[in-house]
Structure 1
Amino acid sequence: MVVGFSLWVATAGGSDLPRPYQDALDALRTSNEPSARALAAIAVAHGFRDVPLSDPADVVDALSDAMQADADPTVQAMTAYALCVLRDLRGVPRLIGAIQSTVARGVDPQGRFSDAVPLPVPYLYRALGHAGGREATWFLIEAARTGPVRARVVAIAALGFVLGDGGEVERALTTLSGDPDPTVRNAARYVMSERKPRSGKR
């Protein structure tokens, strides 16, 4: 596995990153097991108890390098996930592809990504909501409109995390609140009610 310069710098001895982040990025760079590399990327995204990451910029370039350099699709998916959790749009296209892959493989949209990487699939959708931007928002709206109900409600929930959408999400949720399927309809109405109290803070 060829690794970019940013990942090497982030794991070098002179890095100012807290040790748990250095260790996780080192595992992402050096582990022979794809699942271990994928889990390391997730750990960076989720953070470590009582060890704050003062600036996500300290790790996002390293994650992006790993996403581009690693040949394993699961590692690519989880580094893209990590980038989106940290609101870096470089992860969006690859994460959308990973979600589409779970659909093609018949993975339960409310289940886990895989046995080796047991991240809940809804977290992938949620990460797109955190990242925001036109591409992620469009994908979530389309996923909320069509497909199996179990996947649609996951996408609807993720729309609740989208910021700065210019009213596009609200319009989509309003339409979905009248959907013929009661599960979809109720999910849309719930997300709309949750978004409104936060609107003043956005």
Structure 2
Amino acid sequence: MPSPDRTPKAAPIPPAGSALILLKINGVDHSLSIDPRTSLLDVLREHLSLTGPKKGCNQGACGACTVLVDGQRVLSCLSLAVQLEGREITTIEGIASGELHRLQVAFIEHDGFQCGYCTPGQICSAMGMFQEFQNGLPSAVTGDMAAARIEFSDAEIKERMSGNLCRCGAYVGICEAIHSAFDREVAK
């Protein structure tokens, strides 16, 4: 009886000009062979069928493609997928676990969307924005940067969310939804 082959198996060799990468997206590892010039947005949409992040402008100007990378908001159309190996990527599909996240519920309750095209990017951006706020990072409208606590005001929310455009103009509902979802945490 021949002995089993115990030599370690080499990783598959990607085709010439391709890169073999491992991305952790929404808690799941994905091994991909891609062109190293491929944006994270194209990997998400075209290789993994995660269509929540939208290709709005493909220039980083609209925010429709916003995702979270290690909890920070990132424009996936401007990020090369190969640069994000080993980092935790969260798309709108990974926000809820079992039931809608309270921010998603707030968007519904406060009419934070109309056509819905920008909504996944708006929600991911709002989650990253709130983390920035919680970490005490000032914005362009922060009055007293030496203050122990930044006020979670409409002006702060609007400034921090200004990179996410809504063609339908649902900004009032978006701001109300963000307040509704996070005001309790700010009060703590």
TM-score (norm 1): 0.31
Q: Which has the larger radius of gyration?
A: 2
Higher helix share: 1
- Asked which structure has the greater RCO (Cα within 8 Å, sep 6+), the reply is 2
Going by fraction, where is strand more abundant, 1 or 2?
Answer: 2
